Amino acid sequence: MKLSRTFLIADTHFDHRNVILYENRPWPTVQEMNEEMIKRWNAVVKPEDRVYHLGDVSMNRNGLLLAARLNGRKVLIKGNHDNQKLKDYLPIFDDIRATHLLNNFILSHVPVHPDQKYRFSGNIHGHLHGKNVLLPDGSIDPWYISVSVEHINYTPITLEQLEKRFYERNHNELG
């Protein structure tokens, strides 16, 4: 029996031409972006692996159809641009949720309100693309960790890698 791993990613925006400009993505065309992100995904994710996509898979039905080419057993945490009909998502995703609790991390598309920090170890989220949740002093809030593709080299990242980053970041913050 093969061991499965757990991966996370957000904000692929497949087939969204303008995201290349808005987020300064490194591809000249939407087709090149789509194909390279599919290649990177399938290079690390095996069919038996679980992938939590934290929203904004695509901006349109054509982009959503590209997600059918991605390896893994996929769970969608819906984002603000995931507006296709439910029947269009069902052949691609094993489950569709608003949020999900995983190893005491709350998975969401949009970062959760800071008043909820006491309830979870941290918040793994998308939505902000290249930006981060900041503290009042302008430093990055270590309780939040973004898996927007801009933060993870356009490639799904394992839960193990994220937890290591999270605990290293929080240990450094605590001294």
- Residue pair 148/128 in contact by the 8 Å Cβ criterion: yes
Looking at residue 175, its pLDDT comes to 46
Could you give the count of Cα atoms lying within 13 Å of 146 in the half-sphere of its Cβ?
22
Looking at residue 172, its pLDDT comes to 66
pTM of the model: 0.95
pLDDT in tens, 122-156: 999 999 999 999 999 999 999 999 999 999 999 99
Looking at residue 66, its pLDDT comes to 97
Cβ partners under 8 Å of residue 146, min gap 6: 10, 124, 125, 126, 128, 131, 132, 133
For the chain, which residues score pLDDT lower than 70?
1, 172-175
Looking at residue 123, its pLDDT comes to 98
